[in-house]
Chains A and B, each alone.
Chain A
Amino acid sequence: MKRLAKWRLFSLFAVMALVLSACSGKPYLSTLNPAGEVAQTQYDLMVLSTAIMVGVIAVVTVIFFIVVFKFRRKDDRIPKQVEGSHKLEIIWTVIPILLLLILAVPTVSATFKLADVSEMEKKNEEGKTDALVVNVRANLYWWEFEYPNQEIITGQELVVPTDQKVYFNLIASDVKHSFWIPAVGGKLDTNTDNVNKFWLKFDGEKADEADNLFYGKCAELCGPSHALMDFKVKAVPSDEFDQWVTAMQEVKEPQQAETDLAQAGQEVFNNSCIGCHAVTPANTAPEAARLAPNLTNFGDRERIAGILDHTEEDLKNWLRDPETYKPGNKMTGTYGELTEEQLDALSEYLMGLKVMEQ
């Protein structure tokens, strides 16, 4: 029997390993492809707990099959009425307690490690932090990312340097959302009441595998388009990140469109869009007045509205009728009907809003 148990345990582990390696999901999205210290810590805990649990399941399964096959009714005899067994009961009380202790210790230590944001509190002479801090503000169905030290704001696409800790302040401006980059680390809610803080680290090699683009999700039901409240994370080496920051900071005034078409588009933008969408990164308006994603580097982004392909065609579709693509969004009906010429011009202009030289 013991050998049988061992064999089963082994084969179950083998199957589990196979399953885990074969079905680990997409490198830009899956928690089973940990791309940073936080996700790695969590993944290690998953593996540890899965191993313990598979062990438990194996024991139960063995007893289960013995019982189900061996003790089927064969005759009309009345089996011996057994009250219980103190020895057995002590065994299956003590062993689970030990197994849980094995899991509890790393759980508690990881919980404290992942919540350690003391670096965020340390201010240098300028009153800023040495650590990279991003203020995340979640809104019905878009994300704002503010870099308080760098004094720039962007939306929908978080840009971060790889291989260093990035600290986050999280809050929501309307209803509760939750900030989740599955491949990089577990989520934390963006409450309406208070700022939540945590950190993530984006692994450089893993970022390469994922084409430097991780998928971010809203993980708390927030309304009809909860499913579509995606954002993207561009994780780039730190020198590239610094270039991006400098390029963003250089945009002091709205970029002037160059072609005639784009200039016409800018005019449309200034008439219809600028009330909500800013095109300068050093946005000095208060939070409450920042009603929509900052579009300073819209042309550099990978998706439109977080979900659509970054093409002029999709941009025009979106502008024609945002409601179709994100039901319940706050943009629908805030601007008049746009003619096809206006759409052409506007998309030409928006696609030209780039800070990085290609």
Chain B
Amino acid sequence: MSTLAQKKGFGATLWDYLTTVDHKKIAILYLIAGGFFFLLGGLEAMFIRIQLAVPNNDFVSAGLYNEILTMHGTTMIFLAAMPLIFAFMNAVMPLQIGARDVAFPFLNSLGFWLFFFGGVFLNLSWFLGGAPDAGWTSYASLSIASEGHGIDFYALGLQISGAGTLIGGINFLVTIINMRAPGMTYMRMPMFTWATFVTSALILFAFPALTVGLFLLIFDRMFGSNFFDPAMGGNTIIWEHFFWIFGHPEVYILVLPAFGIFSEIFAIFSRKRLFGYSSMVFATVLIGFLGFMVWAHHMFTTGMGPIANAIFAVATMAIAVPTGIKIFNWLFTMWGGSITFTTPMLWAVAFIPSFVAGGVTGVMLASAAQDYQYHDSYFVVAHFHYVIVGGVVFALFAGAHLYWPKMFGTMLNEFLGKITFVLFFIGFHLTFFIQHFLGLWGMPRRIFTFLPGQGLETANFVSTVGAFFMAAAVIVLLINVVITTVKNEKVGNDPWGDGRTLEWAIPSPPPFYNFKQLPLVRGLDAYWLEKMEGKQGMSPAEPLGDIHMPNNSFIPFVISFGLFVAAFGAMYRADYSWGIPVLIVGMLITLGSMFVRSIKDDHGYHIHKEDLEDNNDKGVKA
């Protein structure tokens, strides 16, 4: 294996990443792509806040503003938050369950490239006649009326990247069900793995609703159907249902992994096992389940009538209970612990008050009668940013600092990390707290400007100032990444010193086969248990033997590229004569490469026992 350790040229590295099926490299791809889209979405957010800094501003025009707000939401949810969460799931979950990779490494790669090409397709709209402008929810009457190809980019781009997400979710489910190391029962799985498991189940059931909705939208806009045209017997409200049957579980798809990351952090940096582990698992499953019962609370003002509104109001309030259980369990994980405030822990600790604030406004929004005032006002904007930034983005920052050494073998600078934290924390509350009041004072959301004399000037300006703090924080993080990468000081297996789960028992970054011998898991926090008994690492569960590994493949890239090409054909079919041929060529590329994949047997290869014995410094110490 020594040849694999040699330094490779840039071209070879690039080719390696284009063809890789290794979950750790795919995690890095997700991190880079998701990080890029996060910066893009952040830039759009800055444009929004600059435009709203003063009344009657003309920094961007009305139409362009709608494109920016749509792309900010769409990018942040689908192309930044989800891929970044997938990055951590990919990087960590297989290690946590003691697996050598995910169940379907090929599909893992396919999932990434579908997401990537979908995201690129969506963002190309900026250069090809204008981005979508109907909001990330793309409500049917407006999205059907919208001129140009913006909404087509939205529908086709999300369709492609959504397929990638669905594939990823199924892959994680199968992995967790089938590939746990000996002794790793369900109730010994780390909390982040549990979160990944429930999230993947949510993806499996939620994304098909979006897929169906998007197909109907694509048919209406590009192929002359009338699903959403009331004049032709269609119905626009059905889109709202489709969207939110997907959209509400989506919120939990984002936030449950965030909960998982925080659960790991609280335990590690308090040196205590997670308080009430089984009730945490139960709460996670319950949140996932209830998440499907409450979509219509996004539609209280649609006119569903008091019976539906009351039922969904009460169902929504119920979610506060398992969420509350989690908050108290985290607090009592720290209670009696030995807390050290590293950068990940700072994010985790700050998450609690921030998320509680978002949670309680969630209960207020759940109360249908008062929601009529909050709905589509800045109060809602404040609420979901408290939940998604205070919950998910905090977790992404925390996770980045926590798992950076495991992914790259070197630690992010703690001092700069803390500066990032302080700036972001201040900026976050400065930006969004005041927005609750803006909403209550009568400011609707998604407005490109506001008129003077309505009492909204000061608060909007304050909010804009806060946004700049957050931007500064992200810049500090980028500097941190560059410095860390240049220095590249290597760290050992357990750089934080208090690692509890299996990923901290192996080198950072792990060898490409993860575990030389699968570890034997003897309880929750498997690695911690061994450490407490004075052992250096995990006991192996199997004798040293050959390891079966999958071959790299370029086919996932080609399959995704074919759909990318076909999407252009579908979109320009009505405008240009080359539309249909391009659609056909694109589909041929995709189907052809799927055909090749099907008929060409790829049995992978084996790492031989002798080669493993040569590298006794790597892998699990027996």
Contact = CB atoms under 8 A, between A and B. Distances in A.
Q: Do A and B bind each other?
A: yes
A104 B314 contact: yes
Contacts of A187: 301, 372-373, 375-376
Nearest to A307: B451
Nearest to A182: B442
B277 A83 contact: yes
A222 B442 CA distance: 18
A180 interface: yes
Contact of B370 (A49, A189, A217): A49
B448 A219 contact: no
Contact of A63 (B270, B331, B349): B331
Nearest to A224: B62
Contacts of A74: 338
Contact of B441 (A32, A45, A57, A222): A32
Interface stretch (B33-41, B172-180, B359-367): B359-367
Nearest to B143: A175
Interface stretch (A85-93, A118-126, A127-135, A279-287): A85-93
B142 A49 contact: no
B616 interface: no
Contacts of A194: 237, 303
Interface string B190-215: 00000000000000000000000000
Given A104-B313, A107-B369, A64 B444 contact: no
B363 A92 contact: no
Interface string B288-319: 00000000000001110110011001100110
B197 to A, nearest CB: 20
Interface string B436-471: 010011101111111100110000000000000000
A185 B237 contact: no
Contact of B320 (A39, A100, A191): A100
Contact of A67 (B145, B331, B454): B331
B371 interface: yes
Interface stretch (B1-9, B133-141, B386-394): B133-141
Contacts of A261: none
B352 A64 contact: yes
Contact of B134 (A89, A172, A221): A221
B320 to A, nearest CB: 6
Interface stretch (B102-110, B247-255, B322-330, B477-485): B322-330
Interface string B269-300: 01111011111000000000000000000000
Interface in B112-143: 133-135, 139, 141-142
Contacts, number: 289
Interface size class of A (residues with CB under 8 A): 35 or more
A22 to B, nearest CB: 11
B165 interface: no
B148 interface: no
B301 A189 contact: yes
B369 A111 contact: yes
A77 interface: yes
B63 A89 contact: no
Interface in B584-609: none
Interface residues of B, number: 87
B321 interface: yes
A72 B349 CA distance: 12
B334 interface: yes
B328 to A, nearest CB: 4
A176 interface: yes
A31 B442 contact: yes
A84 B335 contact: no
Contacts of B61: 224, 327
A182 B340 CA distance: 47
Given A25-B440, A71-B337, A328 B63 contact: yes
Contact of B369 (A110, A217, A218): A110
B332 interface: yes
Given A108-B310, A180-B444, A221-B142, A46 B339 contact: no
A31 B340 CA distance: 44
Interface in A178-235: 178, 180, 182-183, 185-189, 191-194, 196, 215, 217-228, 230
B454 A29 contact: yes
Contacts of A192: 141, 230, 236
A84 B276 contact: yes
B539 interface: no
A118 to B, nearest CB: 12
B372 A188 contact: yes
A15 interface: no
Nearest to B365: A49
Count chain B CB atoms within 10 A of each CB in A42, A175, A196 and give the residue with the most: A175
A178 B442 contact: no
Contacts of A256: none
A176 B236 contact: yes
A96 interface: yes
B353 interface: yes
Contacts of A29: 441-442, 454-455
A297 to B, nearest CB: 23
Contacts of B318: 100
A112 B334 contact: no
Interface in A57-78: 57, 60-61, 63-64, 66-68, 71-75, 77-78
12 contacts: A25-B437, A25-B455, A56-B356, A66-B335, A71-B334, A81-B272, A100-B318, A107-B367, A112-B310, A187-B373, A217-B444, A228-B449
Given A112-B306, A180-B444, A182-B441, 4 more contacts: A31-B373, A56-B324, A170-B303, A221-B446
